[in-house]
Structure 1
Amino acid sequence: MHGHALALWMYGRLPGLRAAPHPVPKVHRLIGMVDFLFSVLIAQQCIIAYGVSLTGTREALHSLAGCFLYGAVLAKAVVVRHRRWPGWALPLAGGALVTVIALVWYSAAFWYLDGYRAPGL
């Protein structure tokens, strides 16, 4: 969540605040890198323990969303680094990434916290 607030600040999208100071983009990248590295460790454990499972709706959603997660991360990184993309590309890539993260969370953490059930799964 902190990374998103920093990104909004960097792009001047937070009302009442001036442009972000110079260290903010570096902090934003560092938070993103730490998040990415933690997600790789978690994904490794999931793959070792469970593999890719398409046997049930929840398992299939979680497995496929977990696979698409790294494609969405790569797409967002490419769009951020190459300034020649149209203006809608970054919100689209960021929205895709947030959607995939939400699907992974919904099909695992929310499902678990809701007593092994989630609406629609």
Structure 2
Amino acid sequence: MGVGVAVGLGVYGRLHHPSNVSLFGSLGQPVVIKVTLTSAVLVLAVVQLVSAFALYGRLPSRSWTPALHRWSGRFAVLLSLPVAVHCLYAFGFGFDSPRVLAHSVLGCLFYGAFAAKMLILGAPGAGRVWVLPLAGGLVFTALAGLWLTAVLWFFLT
């Protein structure tokens, strides 16, 4: 399922004719909105990482740690959706430069890994013990790469 989501997004982004029109319209400069939302998603992803370490016993845990983990993940994905829709609609899957190609691949990987992680959550059995952190790590790594190839690049240039 995760591979299907990642490939489906990539195929759609490649076949869709980019509109070069901002979905954010009168809300301000689209790039500033995207940078802000993506940075907020990264902060929430760090909360996810720390709370996951707590849930797996690597850090002290509180009674509210599971709820923090669930809700920070929900908000992270919710905040990422407008950015992803804007990127797919306005720009499509780009390969104009190595940075743009890496960003496009990482965007597809992020949502594919997220879909896989959500399916793993519903799977019974001990296999989840190592697969779930692997999927979560892949989601986090893809997001960090997205932030580096977009937000950091924006600030440096």
Fold match by TM threshold 0.5: yes
Change (3 A) 1:29 1:105: same
TM-score (norm 2): 0.63
Aligned position for 2:69: 28
Retained in 2: the 8 A contact 1:65–1:103?
yes
Secondary structure of 2:129's counterpart equals coil
For residues 32 and 86 of structure 1, what CA distance do their matches in structure 2 show?
Answer: 18
RMSD: 1.8
For residues 112 and 24 of structure 1, what CA distance do their matches in structure 2 show?
Answer: 34
Retained in 1: the 8 A contact 2:120–2:128?
no
Q: Which runs of 5+ in 2 are unaligned?
A: 1-45
CA positional deviation for 1:72: 0.7
Aligned position for 1:5: 50
Retained in 2: the 8 A contact 1:10–1:25?
yes
**Greater relative contact order structure (CA < 8 Å, 6+ sep):** 2
For residues 5 and 60 of structure 1, what CA distance do their matches in structure 2 show?
Answer: 30
Aligned position for 2:106: 65
TM-score (norm 1): 0.79
Higher normalized helix content (fraction of residues): 2
Aligned length: 111
